[in-house]
Structure 1
């Protein structure tokens, strides 16, 4: 069971109408756009250093009450907050999180964001890998628990939307996934988006309605299909502002309130050597 229960309204996520993106191209422009938002979602390509520099600059300017990280397990958030309260450094917090075993990029990227908001309460939204795997087999609703309907997980996606999301998952996994696995990957992504939305709402509640900044992959920041859509499903009155950060113009640029592009760092071909497709959903 997730930690915050709400009664959902009848809203078809896939059919939600969104305003066009503002296409802020600089950090100061985005800060102006997001300053009065209830929840700000800062997307990233996980291993792009420039994206994390931008996130830290935005966080420093906004001074949110809470930070929600896709990369930190919910079970570890209290540990992180206690360590921060005692002035623990980067190495101590990374060790407490067993960061090197998590599969995420260098903790220094995220430490930069943490230090940009020293008074912000930290909340974790990473779902246990066993639960993500279960979601691929059993569906998001069954794994999420009794609050699944709050985020629309009990409702199937319209057929056209389902096909589109399966195509996105295939592309994200280098077209190596067998077709029969694609529906499960879509369910896992819905599960993770709902976990992010749930954590953001809980963070806002626990900080007395303070501004919340969410750090997640840019796929999760998509207002039409990512966690902001689930936030709107659960609490339609929230003002949510999203930033997509990419290395080239995305096809779905209009699904974000703003875009910032940065060159790709030198990296190995992410599709090389995958062989059997991984279980991790697209970011």
Structure 2
């Protein structure tokens, strides 16, 4: 469960508690298509003034291409090819980059092709497995809860035998995100801001949990962003709220 809930406001930077300002890493969760969530992320980022930004949405190569003295949104988009990568509009994400212009950009996206190759072997054999604790036996209750979330996220359309595979994919993405974040902390000393979905931001089994396993000395503050006062699954240091945007039924694609 989250420790606190607050409504979105234009003065979102005033919401930032001192524990977040003192953290090495601040993980800012989101619903990917919610403009209010991204506005808040930009305001928090500007207030924190991170030395590095880690994006779930960028591959390491894309992130490397962002580390130059770009002038405007068009130039940065052309360099990282955001508008062609399938994520929501760069109009929502660019203010986050602008809020920390000059910070080092890190990418943690595992492409579908890379993930497919990684899933051909057990998660325990992944090169990052021992560092981030993926070689440990999964807790049965956690595994079951993860599978239920995957089933719900895919509107009950996945075959039951696919659910453990989807959980493994999520864990591998968490490991990639934790690895990029740890490298950012080691290179810069922090603070580091991480932009990712709420599922990866959760401190009970998401990226912060893996980071705590690998580097318990790193102080992490995790933020979830919900919609319309609905509860967000998982544990976080802070849960914030915002109105939901108009969006089509996500389950239509599975019908």
Q: TM-score scaled by structure 2?
A: 0.92
Q: Aligned runs of 1:1-283 on 2, under 5 Å?
A: 21-23=2-4, 25=6, 27=12, 28-82=14-68, 85=69, 87-142=70-125, 144-145=126-127, 147-207=128-188, 209-247=189-227, 248-250=229-231, 252=233, 255-275=235-255
Structure 1: 4+ residue segments shifted above 4 A? none
The answer (yes or no) to whether the contact 1:132–1:188 under 8 Å persists in 2 is yes
Structure 1: distance between partners of 2:165 and 2:93? 30
Distance 1:137 1:179, change over 3 A: farther
The answer (yes or no) to whether the contact 1:137–1:184 under 8 Å persists in 2 is no
C-alpha deviation, 1:251, in angstroms: 5.3
Structure 2: distance between partners of 1:173 and 1:213? 29
| Number of aligned residue pairs | 249
Ranges in structure 1 where 5+ consecutive residues have no aligned partner: 1-19, 276-283
Higher mean Cα deviation, 31-40 or 235-244? 31-40
Ranges in structure 2 where 5+ consecutive residues have no aligned partner: none
Q: Specify the SS of the correspondent of 2:253.
A: coil
Q: TM-score scaled by structure 1?
A: 0.83
Structure 2: distance between partners of 1:135 and 1:177? 20
